[in-house]
A = this chain, B = another copy of it.
Amino acid sequence: MDRVETLTEEVLERARKIQVILMDVDGVLTHGKIVYDSRGIEIKHFNAHDGLAFKLAKVAGIKTGIISSRESGTIRTRATELQIDYLYLGKYKKITVLQDFIEHNNIKSEYICFIGDDLPDIPVMREVGLAVAVQNATEMTKNFAHYITNKPGGEGAVREVVELVLSSKNLLESSVQKIWE
């Protein structure tokens, strides 16, 4: 990943400590579209490259999790398929989820990465070791990010963050090998 060369040393240093990657859903794992049909059934657009990101994280020993203010059957279906470790849905106040997570898992906030795109994500981004805003995040959200992805949410932003973290730890190549085995 040549991109690593262009990352600031500060971002790489933050990335090297990450043990858990938590993220918002709408706008991060999707492009932010909220889709309903006329019977009220919801539809969500995820991304195949992001799907492999969760596998790469798993073989590298990085935990992953989702915090969303919305409850959603589509997220549950996709999270099960991707074997995501932590799933917090219907949580409008995300900072409370983070505080409980830190306490319950006895983990320092500097070991946590959070990926967000809008206002409700900012209180969490202020606390974690590596705060990431996706390319399509609102301007205000980007102001609170250590790193802004090149790819938009739902089009590979999560994959980009996972590869960044794995590269910073020199784990990307070995993880790819394990994917192939």
Contacts and interface: CB of A to CB of B under 8 A. Distances in A.
Interface residues of A, number: 45
Interface stretch (A8-16, A29-37, A98-106, A107-115): A29-37
A129 interface: no
Contacts of A7: none
Contacts of A159: 138
A159 to B, nearest CB: 8
A119 B52 CA distance: 8
A44 B35 contact: yes
Interface string A21-45: 0000011000011111111111111
A73 to B, nearest CB: 4
